[in-house]
Structure 1
Amino acid sequence: MALDAVFREQWGRVLATLVGILGDIEVAEDAAAEAFAVAAERWPRDGEPANPTGWLVTTARNRAIDHLRRQQVLAAKTKLLARDLETAPAGPTGAEAFVDGTATIPDERLELIFTCCHPALSLEAQVALTLRTLGGLSTEEIALAFLLPFETMSKRLTRAKHKIRDARIPFAVPPDHQLPDRLAAVLAVVYLIFNQGWGGGRVDLAAEAIHLGRALAGLMPDEPEALALLALMLLHDARRAARVRDGQVVPLDDQDRTLWDPRQIDEGRALLGRALARGRTGPYLVQAAIADLHLGQPRDWRSIALLYETLGRQTGSPIVELNRAIAVAELDGPAAGLAILDGLDLDHYRYFHSTRADLLRRAGRAAEARAAYRQALDLAQTEPERRFLASRLADCS
């Protein structure tokens, strides 16, 4: 497996294990980065080890211990860490817990999420920090997701990591009575990780988010929003094989439905039914219901528009209004959708420009549509997106 593939697939697992061993997110991040740098130097020369992830964890742990020993101010912490390692039982722990890249501790990454999502941090800081640590996203990618400048997001991440360290926030899943206080942030994190994989071309992140969603649903089986989030991700991911054809994004109405995964659709709908039976309607339940309606043919645009209206009241999100504009345009024509878009401040959001371009094209405003497609092209993050937008731009020309 190439090193970049190991990074994409195992960064979160490696970092979660290191945080559990070292108890400090910044130290763990630095150690993990150093281990990957050593791997980039040695693996091409010496060959990839039989257990790449275990090698990375062991190397990172040893480097971290060396660094801590060189820092006299942390001498006590180093002695404690060394003593813990020397007196640990002979069974598999830390890096040795990995067999073929699979950890024997199933919820280590969930522990990292709950650590990052401590109520002592602001909700935005919780989400951003977990995206950085678990998803391995760069500060630039996270800043883009939040529509914030790089410098602002960098400072926010640093403050959050220092607060976890200084407040000695434990690396653990909290007791049952504390779970509801952290649920909103944890759900937001998992869904943002999924969206980065779904919209950003990182399929590994989408699979990681679904794995975490299953763990959350198992941890909180009576929480409708946990069930609904897993349903939402499964219903979207069921269409993954049909989303790209000949290197270009395929709109939903043009997708080959025989490529959709019927088992994931059935599982998602069953989870949606369980969430609905709980009698509480949260934003993930509404989104899962919308995702289910999008699988119908023809689509029930009136119900979709009404659900987006409900979701907009729940969240106040301009991106929800963007999606409602699409449904309204299907019901009342592109001019009605454009009227909604004109009131949104989403100039840095690529889907705003691609949606606006499509509605302008359908309204016969070709010159404005071309300008909007060019703006969307400038912001596109994957090659399939660029090819799709370039083809639409060429059609307008």
Structure 2
Amino acid sequence: MVGARCAGSPTAMLLARAGYRVLLLDRAEFPSDTLSTHLIHQPGVAALARWGLLDRLRATGCPPIDHAVYEVADIRLEGCSRGVEGQRAAYAPRRYVLDTILLEGAIAAGVTFRSRCSVNRLLRDETGRVVGVAGTHEGQPFAERARLVIGADGMRSAVARLVGAPYTRREPSLTCAYYAYYADVPAVFECYEKPEGWVGAEPTNDGATLVQAYFPLTAFSTVRTNAHHFFDEQIRTTAPSLHERIRGRQPLERLRGTGDQQNFFRQASGPGWVLVGDAGHHKDSITARGITDAFHQAESLVRLVGDGLADPDRLDAALEAFGGERDASLTGGFEATLSVARLQTHEQRLALLRAVRRDPELTTTYFDLVAGIGSAASLYTPRLLALM
């Protein structure tokens, strides 16, 4: 297993709990931070509960997020998702907190972990099947054989590159994003939208609030020349009420940003290898689906592999089924994310949201969709149509 963050550690943990020997490798040392929106939507929280890790997350003091606000044009929606499996609250932990919990869960399940590992070569048998990895560990060369090599090493996956995994769908990048942390700024899960602007906020660990600002990717070369100014201006014009709360405050840490928000599906697997998390599928962070999607993929892969790891033909069939299940389950969220990331407001959608605002049950259903629960069909009911 290459990559030990929110796709790799859960996959390794679940495989170890299923009785497999798992070696988990990562370039980083832990605990460590990484670029992230932090948000775990309710389906992801339910996964943590199933794995027995939710109480550990709660013990870090990361606040539950059980109230959401969404503002666009003259519309303000407030409410909460119905949740899933009894989990109505989302959480937005710092990644050095979450990733450590996930890694420790994997190690407790029996996974062997090595940090400061770089994989630069794959081992193959005479048929070309991947049978292991090679690279360096703390500067020393190593080689390890395995029945299955799993790439969970992010959007720029070395495993994907080494196996030559082709893109099966690739869409243009649409936004650039900057974010900062502020102390003592009250917030719930908040989203604010205007043409060519999107701002989000959510509480995280240690009494801090994460504030994010999104811009069209075409503006990146300009925004990066004076990121602090444009960040503040985007919040002031898109989310005035949030701007009032942070006015005059200095961020707790440096402003972080990226213009590399890729949108793609890669081929999920091949003989002896498979990609999970951002390695196989990545989308703009504006809908904060990445962590929750990674948890879903981990469970899906381990369920489909079952006890078939020793049989290459059975394993390959399971990996192919995983790819089909991944694409079927995540394509809807991919399309929805692209729609949001275009940073455009359309009168038809505004009319829909005005109708949703008038009905608490429809508002709850809308926040279910934001969390990735259910499908758009659950919103388009006779109840909604009567209000439009």
TM-score (norm 2): 0.26
More strand by share: 2
TM-score (norm 1): 0.26
Greater relative contact order structure (CA < 8 Å, 6+ sep):
2
Structure of higher CA gyration radius: 1
